């Protein structure tokens, strides 16, 4: 088991080797570097001329704060800043539509927002007040054929209960009363969790905390928590011209990636539970969901449609009992279950037979953050996979060459580091991969390296 560090274990380097030939692809495909030297890139989009634009997060785990930015990628690989934000990142992605960029502002400090940015950089707020000051944030947007903008909103906690792990993430100290918010009224089972209290200096001080409640607040059996919108762990939509926020689906943990299939079906990637905090979950894979409006997808009591109160998900000293006395519905089955701790994030669909794999979903896997998320046998993720949504079959598409899996910095070559988003160009002939860059896991937590992010481009070289 990898007990100490997940992902890259080399902490000194600030530079990064770029060598496309170190990436393995299917026959007839090639990869090239489009831009490098990016700092915490998270997503991308294209304008009407097919020019690529990239969002730089501005915030990264490890409590790193920089101004988030929207950058135009020039033909020579240089960048031009379109707009910048205050330190309320992360900017998790963007979509371009009819002359405007729509950017998801994660809102770690002040709450999540959806921003509308003109090409001259003028910025207005389309949505604000989203509950994103916790572990997970307001996620990347997409525009539907119905004229609405769709986006995901992550949860405040790992599994519904605020605990010392959230203090380690930084936000419990900033916002000691922050917690998850259900989208509709729920009834609690009355499960409570005793933990160390990091908010006091008293040695041995303990806190008792219930689900959907502030840290140190116990719950009662059959206690009703009122639902509200906006809420935690959900997919929303809003008219492009602005208007009321509408709930699409809930019961998700961190719906980071979102895309419409060629058949106009909405899909999201959802990060599974970590083995941390007051209510850890063991062996919970990331999932790909087909979203049905109005459905509850199981968080915080189910993983990939399976109940959490079974031995499959328990840890040696914790039994993840149900938090809810009643469930809104039986959760649907996922389209696919991806690697445990793979951090399967950005999502897009192939729509052009010239590229191949038409109708399949392509998913960027950021890679594990062990040991904070749980111990692992070896590095998980750090690649791009494709999913047949009819069968659930998952196949590696772009992966680093070598006898074992892992990020380029650990494998001592110049391939992929931490893919976080994928996007096909408007014609569907090329797949762009946003690579966040080098982020080692140290004994103090994540240590992201600035100016190590890369934008890659994958094309099919010859008709097979």
Over 80: is that where the pLDDT of 152 sits? Answer: yes
Which of the four pLDDT bands, split at 50, 70 and 90, describes residue 278? very high
Q: Ranked by mean pLDDT, which of 20-34, 300-314, 442-456 comes out on top?
A: 20-34
Phi, psi of 225 (to 5 degrees): -105, 120
What is the average pLDDT across 423-433?
98
3-state class (DSSP) for residue 172: helix
Q: pLDDT by residue (tens digit) across 158-204?
A: 999 999 999 999 999 999 999 999 999 999 999 999 999 999 988 88
pLDDT the model gives residue 1 = 37
Going from the C-alpha of 378 to that of each of 42, 251, 345, the distances in angstroms are 24, 30, 19
> Mean pLDDT for the chain?
94
- Which residues, 6+ apart, have CB-to-CB distance to 444 below 8 Å? none
Over 50: is that where the pLDDT of 402 sits? Answer: yes
pLDDT the model gives residue 291 = 98
What is the average pLDDT across 354-358?
97
Report pTM. Answer: 0.95
Over 90: is that where the pLDDT of 316 sits? Answer: no
Phi, psi of 125 (to 5 degrees): -100, 120
What are the sequence ranges of the domains in the chain?
20-157+236-460
Which residue do the tokens 């030939």 mark? 21
pLDDT above 90: percentage of residues in the chain: 86
Over 70: is that where the pLDDT of 154 sits? Answer: yes
Which of the four pLDDT bands, split at 50, 70 and 90, describes residue 444? confident
CATH architecture of 20-157+236-460: 6 Propeller (2.120)
pLDDT the model gives residue 312 = 77
Q: Is residue 76 exposed (0-12), middle (13-18) or buried (19+ Cβ within 10 Å)?
A: exposed
Over 70: is that where the pLDDT of 20 sits? Answer: yes
Going from the C-alpha of 252 to that of each of 155, 163, 211, 269, 415, the distances in angstroms are 8, 19, 15, 10, 32
Over 60: is that where the pLDDT of 139 sits? Answer: yes
What is the average pLDDT across 444-450?
90
More confident residue, 57 or 311: 57
């Amino acid at each position: 088991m990898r007990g100490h560090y997940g992902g890259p274990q080399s902490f000194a380097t600030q530079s990064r080797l770029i060598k496309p030939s170190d990436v393995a692809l299917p026959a007839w495909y090639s990869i090239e570097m489009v831009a490098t030297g990016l700092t915490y890139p998270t997503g991308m989009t294209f304008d009407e001329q097919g020019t690529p634009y990239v969002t730089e997060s501005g915030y990264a785990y490890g409590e790193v704060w920089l101004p988030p930015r929207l950058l135009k990628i020039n033909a020579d690989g240089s960048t031009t800043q379109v707009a910048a934000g205050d330190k309320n990142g992360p900017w998790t992605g963007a979509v371009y539509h009819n002359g405007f960029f729509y950017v998801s502002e994660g809102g770690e400090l002040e709450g999540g927002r959806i921003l509308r940015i003109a090409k001259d950089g003028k910025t207005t707020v389309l949505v604000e007040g989203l509950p994103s000051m916790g572990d997970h944030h307001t996620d990347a947007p997409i525009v539907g054929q119905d004229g609405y903008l769709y986006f995901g909103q992550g949860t405040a906690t790992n599994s519904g209960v605020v605990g010392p792990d959230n203090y380690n993430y930084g936000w419990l100290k900033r916002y000691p009363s922050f917690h998850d918010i259900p989208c509709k009224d729920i009834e609690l089972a009355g499960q409570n969790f005793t933990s160390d209290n990091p908010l006091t200096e008293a040695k041995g001080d303990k806190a008792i905390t219930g689900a959907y409640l502030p840290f140190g607040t116990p719950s009662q059996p059959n206690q009703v928590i009122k639902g509200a919108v906006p809420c935690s762990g959900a997919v929303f939509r809003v008219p492009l011209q602005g208007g009321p926020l509408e709930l699409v689906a809930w019961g998700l943990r961190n719906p980071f990636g979102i895309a419409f299939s060629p058949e106009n079906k909405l899909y999201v990637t959802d990060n599974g539970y970590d083995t941390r905090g007051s209510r850890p979950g063991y062996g919970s894979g990331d999932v790909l969901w087909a979203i049905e409006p109005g459905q509850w997808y199981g968080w915080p009591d189910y993983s990939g449609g399976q109940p959490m109160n079974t031995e499959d998900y328990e840890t040696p000293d914790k039994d993840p009992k149900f938090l809810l006395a009643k469930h809104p519905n039986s959760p649907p089955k996922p389209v696919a279950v991806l690697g445990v701790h793979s951090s399967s994030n950005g999502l897009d669909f192939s729509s052009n037979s010239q590229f191949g794999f038409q109708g399949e979903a392509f998913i960027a896997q950021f890679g594990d953050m062990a040991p904070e998320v749980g111990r692992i046998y070896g590095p998980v993720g750090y690649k791009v996979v494709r999913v047949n949504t009819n069968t659930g079959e998952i196949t590696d598409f772009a992966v680093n060459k070598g006898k074992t899996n892992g990020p380029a910095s650990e494998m001592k070559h110049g391939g992929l580091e931490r893919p976080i988003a994928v996007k096909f160009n408007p014609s569907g002939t090329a797949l762009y991969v946003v690579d966040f860059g080098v982020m080692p896991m140290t004994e103090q937590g994540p240590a992201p390296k600035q100016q190590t992010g890369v934008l890659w481009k994958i094309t099919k070289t010859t008709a097979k």
